Amino acid sequence: GEDVEQSLFLSVREGDSSVINCTYTDSSSTYLYWYKQEPGAGLQLLTYIFSNMDMKQDQRLTVLLNKKDKHLSLRIADTQTGDSAIYFCAVLLSGGYNKLIFGAGTRLAVHP
């Protein structure tokens, strides 16, 4: 079945850029997502990208998709302490079921 992998932890200094990486196995996935989860809360949809796109930018967020390598990344520019959270990569399963397969989540720690 589909597998989504992420590194578990990233630590950055406030003001620097953060890059969170994700790899997936299903080459027919059409939509790929980034969600943010703060402690004790649900998931917030940050952004998503359609598989025919290479890049999508939304304010401080840049998503890069390398379909050949099945690699997705999320870049957060000018990282702030409020960005500290767990970031989940998710892939929409092909077949029209609207099911998302999640990675394990990357914990982003922003320090002064």
Partner 1 sequence: GAVVSQHPSWVICKSGTSVKIECRSLDFQATTMFWYRQFPKQSLMLMATSNEGSKATYEQGVEKDKFLINHASLTLSTLTVTSAHPEDSSFYICSAVDLAFAYEQYFGPGTRLTVT
Residue 52 sits in the site that holds partner 1 (CB under 8 A): no
Is residue 112 within the footprint of partner 1 (CB under 8 A)?
no
Q: Minimum CB separation from partner 1 for residue 92, in Å? A: 7
| Residues between 67 and 86 that touch partner 1 (CB under 8 A) | none
Cβ atoms of 105 and 35 closer than 8 Å: no
Instruction: Determine the interface stretch with partner 1 among 17-25, 53-61, 71-79, 99-107 (rule: CB under 8 A).
Output: 99-107
With 0-12 CB in 10 A as exposed, 13-18 as middle and 19+ as buried, what is 46? middle
Among 41, 68, 69, 95, binds partner 1 (CB under 8 A): 41
What is the rounded distance in angstroms from the CA atom of residue 95 to the CA atom of residue 102?
17
Please tell me whether residue 39 binds partner 1 under the rule CB under 8 A.
Answer: no
Q: Which residues, other chains included, contact 58 with Cβ-Cβ below 8 Å and sequence gap of 6+?
A: 47
